[in-house]
Amino acid sequence: MTIKVLIADDQAMVRSGLRLILEDQPDITVVGEAADGAEAVALARRLRPDVCLVDIRMPRLDGIEVTRALAGPGVADPLRVVVVTTFDLDEYVHGALRGGAVGFILKDAGPVLLVEAVRAANAGDALVSPSVTLRLLRHLAAAAAPAARRPARPLSERETEVVRAIARGRTNQEIAAELFISLSTVKSHLAGIQAKLGVRNRVEIAAWAWENRLTDAL
């Protein structure tokens, strides 16, 4: 099945470069391009792509506003948004993740990570790369408020292990292998964790883990 992608970036050269990388893959096709945030929201709602690749800084609406409009808590049928940014914009990325983004990558991350992020988002997963996400989340955790959010119900010991693994950037398959449990059990734990934490995806789970210092021993 072909993954349909929308690219939103205010620089034509960046859009062209991303299109070339993505369409070099047999399972990915770019169905639209947007040069600003308002156009991105309109195109995404009309085309309903599988994944929206959104720049963080754009005219009219920035990446955070686009993310909230397409994937925010109040959106009935949210789209999957991957934010593209640079590390020094970490506060904006944090806002985008809270707004519903399922992942983010750096603009200089390279074609392999870009493709991985798109495929992960399409699969309902999120790219939590140790080389990118953990560095950013560690930075965010250092600035987090001392009284971080607590779960509605305490996490079990196994759920805590799964949270730690997610914060390390592990995939579901890797978590299953590390904890000697089935893939379906991992998915079941994820559903329980999301319900207890009040979050919607594994990126938010990872952010919660860093905020609550569950990764101090990593």
- Tell me: the pLDDT tens digits for 65-112? 999 999 988 888 899 999 887 755 567 767 777 788 888 788 877 888
- The Cα–Cα gap between 101 and 83 comes to 7
pLDDT at 146: 45
- The Cα–Cα gap between 151 and 197 comes to 5
- What sign does the dihedral 94-88-109-65 (CA atoms) show? positive
Tokens of 90: 């970490």
Residues 117-135, mean pLDDT to the nearest whole number: 71
Q: How many CA atoms lie within 13 A of 206 on its CB side?
A: 32
Q: Which amino acid is at 116?
A: E
Tokens of 115: 């493709």
What is the total residue count of the chain? 218
Residues 193-217, mean pLDDT to the nearest whole number: 78
**pLDDT band for position 129 (cuts 50, 70, 90):** low
- The Cα–Cα gap between 3 and 50 comes to 6
Considering the entire predicted model, what is its pTM?
Answer: 0.71
50, pLDDT greater than 50:
yes
* Residue 127 buriedness (CB in 10 A; 0-12 / 13-18 / 19+): buried
Q: Do residues 176 and 186 lie in contact, with contact meaning Cβ atoms separated by under 8 Å?
A: yes
198, pLDDT greater than 60:
yes
